[in-house]
């Protein structure tokens, strides 16, 4: 299963099946800090992830305050 | 589609859009941000918050135009401007643009170096000055910025850590209009960063995801990470912190902030309100460019 990460932009391969929540825990990503997009669709933390899925873990924290 | 733990809810697309609109509508109503018929100038950066805000305000029926400020931060500024322009063009909405280097002769890296300030400090000072001046010059009633719940909670966290009473007094979703100042409002204050990002994905709003290279490692990102760790263990903490402050503590600090605003006069260089003879932006510009600053004639606008 392809997982796209950002900052810096990179791609990793992760064994499937799994769930969004488990994937974030395995990658040590704080769920509140990201959106997870599976095959171009937003998914919740309990969503299943299967072989062949393309998953983007998109960071949402923006820097600097005005 | 998306779960928001602090609301103990998961939403489908339509309900989530409704949720976002309702949170903005409620923030505007609760804090008296925008009156019917007022013209709104949205500070647009090409990021998820400002583009999402502009979209939400228009969905709610507000007469909202955008202002993009080019900060001269290399390729990043070029990219963010492209997102802002494409969004405006796609929707047929008016986007004003001010380019810091072209108009004022310096960019954020110059300003940061010359004044020995952190880049985010020089950036914020410059943007606040330009937004305010543009609103005054073009007759907008309100400036709306894309500060969201996470931004405000992080700023509050920093202000409390340092017990900065002046900043605590000024931290509010509405900064009222004053002589030389347009009203400034933060309609996204009830929405978190995840929600704004999700709103943009849901509505196919293309925004710049990459972070500003000059913001990497700054204090506010650290504060956000700390607050997110607390939020993971105790959902709703950020909202409780922010709205608890506004409900029960802000008034104790507000009097000091009012006094500071009352002691302002016109900058001798540009006419903007300032406690001293020359405003902080003109001082920054002078240091960054090393050139004398021409005095504006009465009624003359920035080019």
Nearest CA distance, A46 vs chain B (angstrom)? 9
* pLDDT reading at B170 higher than 70: yes
Q: β-strands A10-13, A2-5: how paired?
A: antiparallel
Question: What is the rounded CA–CA span in Å between residue B238 and residue B228?
Answer: 8
> What average pLDDT does this structure show over B243-266?
82
CB atoms A63 and B123 under 8 Å: no
* pLDDT reading at B193 higher than 70: yes
Nearest to B198 among A7, A35, A64 (CB): A35
Nearest to A63 among B10, B145, B221 (CB): B221
* pLDDT reading at B302 higher than 80: no
Render chain B in DSSP notation, one character per residue: -EEEGGGTEEE-HHHHHHHHHHHHHHHHHHTT---TT-EEEEEE-SSHHHHHHHHHHHHTT-EEEEEEEE---HHHHHHHHHHHHHHHHHHT--EEEEEHHHHHS--HHHHHHHHT--HHHHHHHHHHHHHHHHHHHHT-SEEE----HHHHHHHHHHHHHTT-HHHHHH-SSEE--BTTB-EEE-TTTTS-HHHHHHHHHHTT-----SPPTTSTT-HHHHHHHHHHHHHHHSTTHHHHHHHHHHHHTHHHHHHHHHHHHHT-EE-TTT--EESSSS-HHHHHHHHHH-SPPPPPPTTPPP-
Residue A34 CA: distances (Å) to CA of A21, B71, B95: 11, 27, 29
CB atoms B220 and A32 under 8 Å: no
Give the ipTM.
0.91
Q: What is the mean pLDDT of chain B?
A: 90
Per-residue pLDDT tens digits for A17-47: 999 999 999 999 999 999 999 999 999 999 9
> What average pLDDT does this structure show over B178-196?
94
Domain boundaries, chain A: 2-59
Per-residue pLDDT tens digits for B238-250: 999 999 999 999 9
Q: What is the pLDDT of residue B298?
A: 45
Q: What is the pLDDT of residue B301?
A: 43
More confident residue, B179 or A3: A3
Question: What is the rounded CA–CA span in Å between residue B301 and residue B303?
Answer: 6
Number of residues that make up chain B? 303
| Domain B2-258 falls under CATH 3.40.50.620 | yes
Residues of B in contact with A35 (CB under 8 A): 2, 194, 197-198, 201
Q: Compute φ and ψ for B16, nearest 5 degrees.
A: -70, -40
Q: β-strands B174-175, B183-185: how paired?
A: antiparallel
Chain B residues with CB under 8 Å of a chain A CB are: 1-3, 5, 10, 43, 47-49, 120, 123-124, 127-128, 145, 147, 150-151, 154-155, 192-194, 196-198, 201-202, 209-212, 214-216, 218, 220-221, 224-225, 228-229, 231-232
- Could you tell me which of B248, B221, B234, B233 has the C-alpha nearest to residue B158? B221
Per-residue pLDDT tens digits for A7-25: 788 999 999 899 999 999 9
Confidence grade of residue B259 (pLDDT, cut at 50, 70, 90): low
> What average pLDDT does this structure show over A56-62?
92
Confidence grade of residue B3 (pLDDT, cut at 50, 70, 90): confident
Q: Report the chain A residue with the minimal C-alpha distance to residue B118.
A: A64
Question: What is the rounded CA–CA span in Å between residue B44 and residue B84?
Answer: 7
pTM: 0.91
Mean pLDDT lowest among A61-65, B187-191, B294-298: B294-298
* pLDDT reading at B131 higher than 50: yes
Mean pLDDT lowest among B119-123, B130-134, B246-250: B119-123
CB atoms A62 and B151 under 8 Å: yes
Q: Report the chain A residue with the minimal C-alpha distance to residue B230.
A: A32
* pLDDT reading at A62 higher than 60: yes
* pLDDT reading at B260 higher than 70: no
Q: What is the pLDDT of residue A8?
A: 83
More confident residue, B277 or B243: B243
More confident residue, B60 or B291: B60
Q: What is the pLDDT of residue B239?
A: 97
Level-2 CATH architecture, domain A2-59: Roll (3.10)
Q: β-strands B265-266, A48-49: how paired?
A: unpaired
Residues of A in contact with B108 (CB under 8 A): none
- Could you tell me which of B69, B71, B116 has the C-alpha nearest to residue B95? B69
Domain boundaries, chain B: 2-258
CB atoms A62 and B49 under 8 Å: yes
Q: Compute φ and ψ for A8, nearest 5 degrees.
A: -85, 160
Q: What is the pLDDT of residue B37?
A: 94
Q: What is the distance, to the nearest Å, from the Cα of residue B28 to the centroid of all Cα atoms in its chain? A: 15
* pLDDT reading at A66 higher than 60: no
| DSSP 3-state of A33 | helix
Give bridge partners of residue B95 from the DSSP assignment. B66
Nearest to B120 among A42, A61, A64 (CB): A64
* pLDDT reading at B277 higher than 90: no
Question: What is the rounded CA–CA span in Å between residue A22 and residue A20?
Answer: 6
* pLDDT reading at B141 higher than 90: yes
Confidence grade of residue B274 (pLDDT, cut at 50, 70, 90): confident
R_g over Cα of chain B:
19
Q: What is the pLDDT of residue B297?
A: 45
* pLDDT reading at A64 higher than 60: no
């709306």: which residue's tokens? B144
Q: What is the pLDDT of residue B96?
A: 97
């Amino acid at each position: 299963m392809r997982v796209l990460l950002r900052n810096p932009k990179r791609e990793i391969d992760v064994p499937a099946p799994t769930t969004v929540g488990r994937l974030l825990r395995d990658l040590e990503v704080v769920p509140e800090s990201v959106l997870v997009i599976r095959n171009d669709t937003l998914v919740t933390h309990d969503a299943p992830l299967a072989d062949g899925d393309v998953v983007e873990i998109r960071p949402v924290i923006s820097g600097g305050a005005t | 589609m998306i779960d928001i733990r602090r609301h103990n809810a998961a939403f489908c697309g339509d309900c989530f859009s409704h949720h976002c609109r309702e949170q903005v509508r409620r923030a505007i109503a609760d804090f008296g941000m925008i009156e019917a018929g007022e013209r709104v100038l949205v500070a647009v950066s090409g990021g998820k918050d400002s583009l999402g805000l502009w979209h939400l305000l228009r969905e709610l029926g507000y007469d909202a135009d955008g202002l993009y400020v080019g900060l001269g931060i290399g390729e990043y500024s070029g990219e963010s401007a492209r997102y802002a322009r494409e969004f405006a063009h796609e929707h047929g909405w008016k986007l004003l643009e001010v380019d810091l280097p072209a108009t004022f002769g310096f960019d954020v890296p110059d300003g940061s170096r010359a004044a020995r300030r952190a880049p985010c400090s020089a950036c914020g000072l410059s943007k606040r000055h330009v937004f305010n001046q543009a609103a005054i010059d073009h007759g907008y009633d309100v400036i709306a910025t894309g500060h969201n719940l996470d931004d405000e909670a992080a700023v509050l966290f920093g202000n409390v850590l340092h017990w900065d009473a002046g900043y605590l007094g000024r931290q509010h979703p509405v900064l009222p209009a004053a002589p030389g100042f347009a009203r400034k409002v933060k309609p996204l204050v009830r929405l978190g960063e995840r929600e704004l990002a999700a709103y943009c994905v849901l509505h196919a709003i293309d925004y710049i995801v990459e972070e500003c290279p000059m913001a990497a490692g700054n204090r506010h990102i650290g504060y956000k990470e700390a607050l997110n760790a607390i939020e993971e263990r105790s959902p709703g903490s950020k909202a409780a912190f922010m709205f608890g402050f506004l409900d029960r503590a802000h008034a104790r600090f507000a009097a000091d902030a009012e006094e500071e605003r009352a002691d302002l006069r016109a900058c001798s260089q540009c006419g903007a309100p300032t406690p001293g003879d020359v405003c902080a932006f003109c001082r920054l510009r002078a240091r960054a460019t090393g050139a004398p600053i021409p005095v504006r004639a009465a009624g003359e606008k920035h080019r």
